[in-house]
Amino acid sequence: MPEGDTVFRAARTLHRFMAGETVTRFESVYPAITRVVLDHRLLGRTIVSVSARGKHLLMSFSGGLVLRTHLRMNGSWHIYRPGERWQVPARDMRVLVGTDDFEAVAFRVPIAEFRSASALKRDRAIESLGPDLLDPDADLDDAVGRLRARGALPIADALLDQRALAGIGNVYKSESLFVAGVSPFASVASLSDETLRAIVETARMQLKANTRDPLEAPVAAWRGMRRTTRSDRPEGRLWVYGRAGAPCRRCGTSIVIAKQGEARLTYYCPKCQPVAPPD
């Protein structure tokens, strides 16, 4: 499932190639947004910016029109030169925004809608989001307070609640809890504010490490494989996620997988992450 780092990188790439350009082509399989394109004359407008807000990707156009998409489980955005062969079958195309030089194509995106910039500010899908951990101005105290409000909820489930903090998915949930040494089954109420803060800061650090721009930080940039450890080996890039039955990288105990919440999977080390919260 795409997480906050995936959406952030997609928005950054689209912004780099599309911002400041004029829309010359638009296609979609969704009649509702095609209607908006016709009614509001999208062709000829300028793409002002492309940004990420949690797991939402926002493409803003001149005149105050915004295209909001959510990738959910399988969605993705690609960018191509006109006429370049797509890496995904055309039947999976949901939205295409074209300029003279590039085409931004959304594949298997289940949610796509146009909103005015003013209406988007009042949109519950956006307004209700907690602090975005990839926002340099994110209020981490607010994130801790929002987690605290989840009370009896297991911390693993609370971290996935985008109203508490935005951007974390199954991978960073499992990885940040392992690094913090916290059981995914511990209730939020059982954890101190210091522990919650440590979890939030760890998740933020991991997300940011996977969004470094290769054009700005060529030595320590994201290279195409998400990692939370310091290892450059493909098989050593994650602490626990996807490693059920494998030995813990710290203590050697077998990593365990469990279903939590809405059939979501959690990976953890039963020795490094005891059920009782750490002191």
Which of 55, 150, 173, 227 does the annotation list as catalytic? 55
Which of 237, 250, 264, 278 does the annotation list as catalytic? 264
What pLDDT sits at residue 279?
Answer: 40
What pLDDT sits at residue 212?
Answer: 76
Residues 18-39 have pLDDT tens digits of 999 999 999 999 999 999 999 9
Task: Tell me the C-alpha distance between 228 and 137, whole Å.
Answer: 22
Which of 2, 131, 154, 184 does the annotation list as catalytic? 2
Which of 3, 9, 154, 184 does the annotation list as catalytic? 3
Task: Tell me the C-alpha distance between 134 and 8, whole Å.
Answer: 8
Q: Which domains does the chain have, with CATH numbers?
A: 4-127 (3.20.190.10), 140-268 (1.10.8.50)
Give the residue from 248, 224, 234 showing the smallest Cα distance to 174.
Answer: 248
Residues 50 and 59 sit within 8 Å (Cβ to Cβ): yes
- Assess whether 55 carries a catalytic annotation: yes
What pLDDT sits at residue 277?
Answer: 41
What pLDDT sits at residue 54?
Answer: 85
What pLDDT sits at residue 144?
Answer: 97
What pLDDT sits at residue 220?
Answer: 36
Give the residue from 36, 37, 59 showing the smallest Cα distance to 47.
Answer: 59
Low-confidence ranges of the chain (pLDDT < 50): 217-223, 277-279
Task: Tell me the C-alpha distance between 69 and 59, whole Å.
Answer: 9
What pLDDT sits at residue 73?
Answer: 80
What pLDDT sits at residue 263?
Answer: 60
- Assess whether 68 carries a catalytic annotation: no
Task: Tell me the C-alpha distance between 37 and 111, whole Å.
Answer: 16
